Amino acid sequence: MKISVVVPCYNEESNIEPFYHEMKKLPEHLPLDTELEVIFVNDGSRDNTIDEVKKLAGIDPVIKYIDFSRNFGKEAAMLAGLEYAGGDYVVVIDADLQDPPSLIPKMYDIIRNGDYERVATRRVDRKGEPPIRSFFAKMFYKLINKISDVKIVDGARDFSMMSRKMVNSVLSLKEKNRFSKGLFEWAGYKTKWLEFKNHSRNAGSSKWSFWKLFSYSIEGIVSFSSYPLVLSAILGVFLCVISLFFIIVIIVRQLFFGDPVAGWASTVCVILFVSGLQHLMIGIIGSYLARIFIEIKDRPSYIVLETNMENGN
Ligand code: UDP
Ligand code: MG
């Protein structure tokens, strides 16, 4: 049996060596007949990540690499790894040792001996993370689980092991706007969740700025829910009901009190409010449209500059 370990890397030069060290410890905890391949996907790093990886690949045939022509994002890196992986089981794991590689033997044990197709992980705390980021993350999980059919576990990591069957199912989802946490859930299959405490990054800094995370969360919502589109209709009905009420009030007032024109300010407020809502709704429709546009252009999710692998599929 073969396990492929997919490692997306963006500016991780000082983590490659320690990560490799952890990988070297794995075989002694795995059954003897287990073959290992470690696929570093260099996502257009601006530092010496690729040199570090190639150095290791030169001395150890277990080390494979896929070097992108530029930074395509973690989603693209994971996709490339899954596409190239030849293993019967595939692990996705971060390069910064925030996901403990020591869990891999346990995952393998569960997936091989149980009837699970996936062993996934979630963090039980968010220690060491800025509070504002934790707050928005919590809000995001609440929101997406309310408005989407696909349930996403709070604190779920991308760190997981999947069977070949599940990997093939995930790869059959051809969308370009990829939100893997959702795709994995969408594919279904019985999943075992393991929990672990948050570790801080080994070296370097997080690649996710607040805005990058924000737009990633919008990605998740737009990809997995059409509820925001319905919102427009709901608000429309709501505003109609309110305006009907005011029309009646104004007619009655006119009939019984003969009120002259009054309330220029309130008129302007109403116009501003309603046109604000309209713009918001156009924006929501626009974000769906933009994604349709990207899908329809059908560009590849990534471009490979160099690799020492043959595409497994
Ligand atoms: N990563 C990537 N491409 C990117 C950003 C991140 O391949 O554009 C990789 C990064 O090298 C790391 C993993 O994705 O292995 C998780 O990134 P990071 O540690 O910055 O995220 P965090 O742990 O803060 O959520
Ligand atoms: Mg990290």
Tokens 């599929």 belong to: 313
CA of 113 to the centre of ligand 2 (A): 30
Atom of ligand 1 nearest to the CA of 206: 20
pLDDT along the chain (313 residues), means of 10: 95 93 90 92 94 93 95 94 95 92 93 91 80 83 85 88 95 90 90 85 79 84 85 83 83 77 74 82 86 90 91 55
Question: Which residue's alpha carbon is at the smallest distance from atom 8 of ligand 1?
Answer: 73
CA of 96 to the centre of ligand 2 (A): 6
| Residue closest to 184 by CA, chosen among 176, 175, 195, 173 | 173
Atom of ligand 1 nearest to the CA of 72: 8
Q: In CATH, what number does 2-207+300-307 get?
A: 3.90.550.10
How confident is the model at residue 252, as a pLDDT?
A: 84
Question: Which residue's alpha carbon is at the smallest distance from atom 18 of ligand 1?
Answer: 206
Q: Which residues contact 31 (CB under 8 A, 6 or more apart)?
A: 1, 108
Crossing angle of helices 210-224/264-297, nearest 10°?
80
The bound ligand whose nearest atom lies closest to the alpha carbon of 207 is 1
Mean of all residue pLDDT scores within the chain: 88
Question: Which residue's alpha carbon is at the smallest distance from atom 22 of ligand 1?
Answer: 206
Atom of ligand 1 nearest to the CA of 93: 15
How confident is the model at residue 19, as a pLDDT?
A: 94
Question: Which residue's alpha carbon is at the smallest distance from atom 12 of ligand 1?
Answer: 94
How confident is the model at residue 276, as a pLDDT?
A: 79
CA of 294 to the centre of ligand 1 (A): 23
Ligand 1 mutation target, pool 52, 207, 214, 302, most atoms within 8 A of CB: 207
Domain positions in the chain are 2-207+300-307, 227-297
The bound ligand whose nearest atom lies closest to the alpha carbon of 12 is 1
The angle subtended at Cα 68 by Cα 120 and Cα 39, nearest 5°, is 40
Secondary structure letter of residue 101 according to DSSP = G
Q: Taking ligand 2, which is a single-atom ion, which protein residues have CB atoms under 5 Å away?
A: 96, 98
* The pairing of beta strand 2-9 with beta strand 35-42: parallel
* The pairing of beta strand 191-196 with beta strand 304-307: unpaired
Q: Which residues contact 43 (CB under 8 A, 6 or more apart)?
A: 8, 9, 10, 68, 71, 72, 73, 74, 76, 77
pTM: 0.81
Using CA atoms of 265, 270, 276, 279 in order, give the dihedral in degrees to the nearest 10.
-130
CA of 77 to the centre of ligand 1 (A): 10
How confident is the model at residue 68, as a pLDDT?
A: 96
The 3-state DSSP class for residue 301 equals: coil
Atom of ligand 1 nearest to the CA of 8: 7
How confident is the model at residue 261, as a pLDDT?
A: 66
Q: Give the pLDDT confidence of 253-290 residue by residue, as tens digits.
A: 878 887 666 677 778 778 888 887 888 888 888 888 98
The bound ligand whose nearest atom lies closest to the alpha carbon of 41 is 1
How confident is the model at residue 313, as a pLDDT?
A: 46
Atom of ligand 1 nearest to the CA of 201: 19
